[in-house]
Amino acid sequence: MSKVNVLDEEGKIIARVEYNSNLGYGHGDGYDDGITKLKDGRYVFIIGKQFNGDKVHAKIITAEEVLQKILKREKLELLEEPRFRDLKVMYEKLNSMEEEVKMSEKVNVLDEEGKIIARVKYNSNLGKGHGDGYDDGITKLKDGRYVFIIGKQFNGDKIHAKIITAEEAIQEIIKREKFELLEDPRFKHLKIMYEKIDNMEEE
């Protein structure tokens, strides 16, 4: 396999690494990408050949950026490589963010910038509701934030999740008439909010 130049922020070549495509196709306008690691612990993102003719090259990225790419491209098997063990620790931290509840597959939780900040177990406790996809769900992180799980879309979008406010969470529960969720100990704060809304009428 051929060697690839690793560039710093100023475009200076600081290392050369073996080309690999362990991340697969993903950045939208070129061929297969890869990741590797230098002896000094820094991570390298290998950018595959571009359709516009740009050559294969590589750049230094942070461990967090590497983990984001692994999760978005669903290449979790890379976390089993000994050289990426610190990434596996970071991944396990993301996976443990959700309050304990027994469900099935994990879903990425995105912040407003599209960054994966946690992974939660998929559930559909809210049922159908957003009009153009399958069953949605709600859960809660250990830090108290609520998560809205958006079911698979008819347009092909994958199941994903996002942070929502307590106010948004109670709105979804009321609109979908899923009042039984308010008996879940994780949602006791939402129950208080609901009772306030439910008792607004003057006697």
- pLDDT value at residue 29: 47
Which portions of the chain are predicted below pLDDT 50? 29, 101-103, 132
- pLDDT value at residue 38: 94
Order of strands, edge to edge, in the sheet holding 34-37?
Answer: 13-18, 3-7, 57-61, 43-47, 34-37
Query: Which of 98-103's residues contact partners 24+ apart within 8 Å by CB, and which partners?
Result: 98/139, 98/140, 98/141, 98/142, 98/147, 99/139, 99/140, 99/141, 99/142, 99/186, 101/139, 101/186
- pLDDT value at residue 102: 45
- pLDDT value at residue 135: 83
Give CA angle at 94 (96, 155), nearest 5°: 110
- Cα 172 versus chain centre, distance: 22
What global pTM score does this model have? 0.60
DSSP secondary structure code for residue 130 in this structure: S
Question: CA 98 to CA 120: how far, in whole Å?
Answer: 6
- Whether residue 181 contacts residue 187, with contact meaning beta carbons closer than 8 Å, is answered with yes
